[in-house]
Amino acid sequence: MRKQQIESSEAGKDPVGNGTPQRKEGKVAKAVKFIIPVVVSVGLCVVMFRDIDFGDMMRVIRHDCDFRWIGLMMVMSVMPMVFRALRWGIQLRALGIDAPVHVLVCSIFGTYAVNLVFPRLGEVWRTGYVSVREDARFSTVFGSMIADRFADLVTVGLLTLATFVMARGPIVEFVRAYPDAYQKLLNMATSPWTWGALAVVVLAMWWVLSHSRSRLVAKSRDFLNGLWGGFAAIARMRGKFQWLGLTVCIWGCYFLQLEVAFHAFPLTRALFDSHGLLVVLVCFVLTSISMGIPSNGGIGPYQTTMLFGLGLFMPAATSSGALAGVSHTEFVTVGAAFGNVLIASQTLVMIALGLVTFAMIAVEKHRLSRQSES
């Protein structure tokens, strides 16, 4: 242990031995990682609320929201975290790390809590917590965590493709209602400049990863190697079908949470009655994609994409009479209220679970220290 501490302290020094440049670089990088998510969250919230009367939105929340459905959604939100912990345990066992279930569950709860303050740092925290707790190599645990997250990325990608096929009717209605926006997107997608720029970016990334010897590129290569190692473990591990089943459970719970929440407001309930699970699926996929944007707990991107997802169904619902008498301003206000209630309730759950988790970890450390002393 002493040797590891000495090596870790020496790793932060520069060749001369004073360590100042790297410490400054580390502080700047940490500051940027903290500032950018805050700017993204605040910026998107400002843009979203710019055309919304905050007082009207709060009145909608107080008078129209049925918080029984929101409470049920909050209770249900614990289950996918538990399923995620169980799924990660299968990957870790394939690497020879047999972590107890309560440790894995605590690691997932803590991850979401840490991400509220420092986005993406929660993943590093859970890797460090499990590696120290189980005396395993950090790089091995990190590779399995990367594979765990990349599996989510693949799942969201497949859901996105399926959703665009299934929701083509409301999307066409939306395009007809806003032809100018559609034409701009079409021009951008068919422009040779767009595809040329994309090709240049891909070639540049390939060249840098293949030829550059900088420390940043070396870390990127290690990241990709860890990703490959994590997925190689999935391919050869026992319990692959159980792993797939837990993946379905994770995303199925996420979807059911949102479906339950749609019953909390009269307008969202009307959209659900008009379009069924399709409107839930579209909003579910868009908000899942938004979680990839660096922000504090999804605050900002989540409400923005939720409002956009609901807006896709407004032209079709209006023409069918499902939203008869609902103005555009009222629709936007209720949509913003819906998104804010959901993200606020999810944030409260993460904070509560985080407090319980870190309290349990502190109690366990105290107990272990007393056992070692005795």
Give the list of residues 6+ apart from residue 2 with CB closer than 8 angstroms, or none: none
Which uninterrupted H or E stretch holds 218?
helix 215-236
Confidence (pLDDT) at 10 = 41
Q: How many CB atoms lie within 10 A of CB 239?
A: 15
Give the model's pLDDT for residue 13: 43
Integer Cα distance of 292 and 85 in angstroms: 20
Residue type, 147: A
Q: Give mean pLDDT, residues 25-37.
A: 57
> Over the Cα atoms of the chain, what is R_g?
23
Span 262-286, average pLDDT? 93
Least Cα distance to 257 among 121, 82, 70 occurs for 70
Q: What percent of the chain has pLDDT over 70?
A: 75
Residue 230 pLDDT exceeds 90: no
- How many CB atoms within 10 Å of residue 114? 22
pLDDT at 18: 47
Q: Is residue 50 domain-resident?
A: no
Whole-angstrom distance between the N-terminal and C-terminal Cα of the chain? 21
Task: Identify the residue whose tokens are 């240049």.
Answer: 200
Tell me what pLDDT residue 5 has: 41
User: Is there a domain that residue 20 lies in?
Assistant: no
Domain count, the chain: 1
Best CA proximity match to 267, nearest among 334, 332, 212, 206: 334
Identify the pLDDT of residue 11.
Answer: 41
Residue 195 placed within a domain: yes
Tell me the residue range of the domain where 131 lies. Answer: 56-369
Question: What's the 3-state SS for 52-65?
Answer: CCHHHHHHHHHHHC
- Confidence tier at 158 by pLDDT (50, 70, 90): very high
Inside any domain, residue 12: no
Element (H, E) at 364: helix 328-373
Q: How confident is the model at residue 49 (pLDDT cuts 50, 70, 90)?
A: low
Question: Domain for residue 26, yes or no?
Answer: no
Judge whether residue 4 has pLDDT over 50: no
Alpha carbons within 13 angstroms on the beta-carbon side of residue 101 total 5
- CB-CB contact of 349 with 77 (8 Å): yes
Where do we find the tokens 């940490």?
A: 30
- Of 121-125, 235-239, 280-284, 362-366, least confident by mean pLDDT is 235-239
What value does the mean pLDDT take over residues 223-238?
Answer: 67
What's the pLDDT score for residue 51?
A: 67
- pLDDT mean across residues, the chain: 81
On whether residue 7 sits in a domain, the answer given is no
The answer to whether 132 and 155 are in contact (CB under 8 A) is no
- The pLDDT score that the predictor gives to residue 8 is 41
For residue 87, being part of any structural domain is answered with yes
Which of 139, 145, 141, 132 is closest to 364 using CA atoms?
Answer: 132
Residue 6 has pLDDT above 50, yes or no: no
Segment 169-213, tens digit of pLDDT: 776 666 666 566 556 656 766 778 877 888 888 887 777 767 667
Q: Please state, as a whole number, how many other Cβ atoms lie within 10 Å of the Cβ of residue 286.
A: 21
Helices 277-290 + 266-275 axis angle, to 10 = 110
Q: Are the CB atoms for 347 and 78 separated by under 8 Å?
A: no
The confidence score (pLDDT) of residue 9 equals: 39
Query: In the prediction, which pLDDT does 183 show?
Result: 65
DSSP letter at 97 equals -
State the Cα–Cα distance between residues 14 and 18, nearest whole angstrom: 6
- Is there a contact between 263 and 272 (Cβ–Cβ < 8 Å)? yes
Q: What percent of the chain has pLDDT over 90?
A: 37
Q: Name which of 150-159, 189-198, 270-279 the model is least confident about.
A: 189-198
Using CA atoms, how far residue 193 sits from 181, 183, 190, 199, 204, in Å, is: 19, 16, 9, 10, 16
Residue 48 lies in a domain: no
- Which residue is listed with tokens 């979203």? 48
pLDDT digits (tens, 9 = 90+) for 319-374: 777 787 788 889 989 999 999 999 999 999 999 999 999 999 898 888 877 877 76
